[in-house]
Amino acid sequence: MKRILYFFTYSLFYFFSQHGFSQTAVPKPDTEFSREIVVEESGIHAISKDVKDTIVIDLTNNAVIYSYPDNTVSFWYKIQVKKDCEVTFEIFPAQANNRYNYFLYKNKGDINVSDVKTKNIYPIRANLYVDEMQSSGTGLSDSSDVNYNDTGFVKRKKQFYHTAYHGAVPAIAGDVLLLNIYHISGEDCGQQFTLKSNGQSQKFQSLYESCYKNQLASVKAERIINVRTPPKVVAKPLAVVDPIAKATYVVWDSLKRTVIDAEMIWTKKKKNSYTTEKGAGEIILDRNTFYNLSFSSVGYKNKNVSFLTKDTVASFTHYVFLTPVKEGENFSMDKIYFYPNTYAMRPEAASELNKLLKYLKANAEIKIEIQGYTNGNNRIKASPEDMTEGSFTGTSKKLSLMRAEKIKNYLMENGVAAERLTANGYGGSQMIYPKPKNQAEANKNIRVGILVLAQKDNAYSTSTLKK
């Protein structure tokens, strides 16, 4: 009955809350304390509060085991981040007919269960119900494609509460995550929670007392004490406005965990203003201003970040993780420019070509198809007096192939093996704007696409598959 009431209260909160995602309306859960975990360079570890607080390790399954009273509904984990990283996790029930959902909070500095209830702190990720949870689980994943920038209230709320896996959470040293996992249905032994960060992972099992003893009897286990001295609390001085406050972003490959070069485009708009400014690169922070940033890098999916400054501003450094394009996916090289109706590249194309070259050299296993596209399928005829390099007479499809071959030859001349490169021309068969209304739309149709091929010796191009 207690679990039914608990879920009913959450449901009421979900349907009637209209001003954010606060959890303050939830009744007092059974478990007020949080189990403590640290994410650091040496790995992910459970830590003790004092010398009397022993940690039980299941050596058979490499899992930390926690014991809870049989009537526990709500489980809390405090995750202290000691390094810059990206955090994901998975939650699975012990039995198929059970459901566990979660709220995740994040704070720059310490945060406790009582803070969530008294300080109106909002979760950054949440999920209320997932069908087929026993097979899919719920949590955070690098592959999630939830759009957190969507401004539609209904859609945003649906994604926030009813998506099995949300995107990974970037964190920097000093951040604290507070994870609340709660049991809404079923009668099982508990749940398993696997925390992951930068290639490291650790399993945590929270079991009811009736199952806890049986588990210990069936596996090889040991008890350890891992006490960490809590950080000293230092009174914060009054906020001081930086004479020049800057926002700095470091961009990482989300899989290789290496820093990559990326382009950052930003827009900013002051509160109560209708004027939007645009820029690239360094951001000088203004007070009470909304910023929207777009990060892009050759071979990676774009990512947007937004934030709002307040009455005082101070310099900060944040980390952004970009997801590499996978096999079968493509991306456009919008700034590889050619002279009209020729396959001669403009000088300004060199910068974009060098980005592609650097990407291929950094990912030696990657094979690509270089795809040429034109604005329509018109026949092209060079004037008799036109003797410039790249002058061309023929079909648009042939021209698009010549342009793709030009790029291929450039890459080969600069050290990329020929077997990694395939060139194809598609002419005007795949126009972004079938009926362009202006030159800007026509230019979007004239482009170079890069398709990441299957990493096999006999990789097939898209043109081969269509035959």
334-352 residue pLDDT tens: 889 888 888 888 898 999 9
Final residue in a domain of this structure, among 259, 294, 322: 322
Pairing of strands 125-127, 99-108: antiparallel
Spans of the chain, pLDDT less than 50? 1-31, 231-236, 238-241, 457-467
pLDDT at 440: 85
Structural domain count of the chain:
3
425-439 residue pLDDT tens: 999 899 999 888 888
Residue 61, judged by CB atoms within 10 A of its CB (0-12, 13-18, 19+), counts as middle
Statement to judge: residues 197 and 77 lie in one domain:
yes
Statement to judge: residues 252 and 386 lie in one domain:
no
- Dihedral-angle region of residue 79 (phi above 0 means left; psi in -120 to 50 means alpha; beta otherwise): beta
288-312 residue pLDDT tens: 999 999 999 999 999 998 899 988 8
With respect to residue 210, please indicate whether it lies within any of the assigned structural domains: yes
Statement to judge: residues 63 and 161 lie in one domain:
yes
pLDDT at 239: 47
State the CATH number of the domain containing residue 59.
2.60.40
Tokens representing 3? 């679990």
With respect to residue 239, please indicate whether it lies within any of the assigned structural domains: no
CB 91 within 8 A of CB 138: yes
* CA separation for the pair 310, 324 (Å, rounded): 34
439 CB-side CA count, 13 A: 1
The kind and range of the H/E element at 252 are: strand 246-253
pLDDT at 214: 83
Statement to judge: residues 299 and 208 lie in one domain:
no
pLDDT at 116: 85
With respect to residue 237, please indicate whether it lies within any of the assigned structural domains: no
* Mean of all residue pLDDT scores within the chain: 80
pLDDT > 90 in the chain, percent:
25
pLDDT at 414: 94
Statement to judge: residues 102 and 8 lie in one domain:
yes
pLDDT at 458: 36
pTM: 0.50
Statement to judge: residues 219 and 265 lie in one domain:
no
Domain extent at residue 317: 246-322
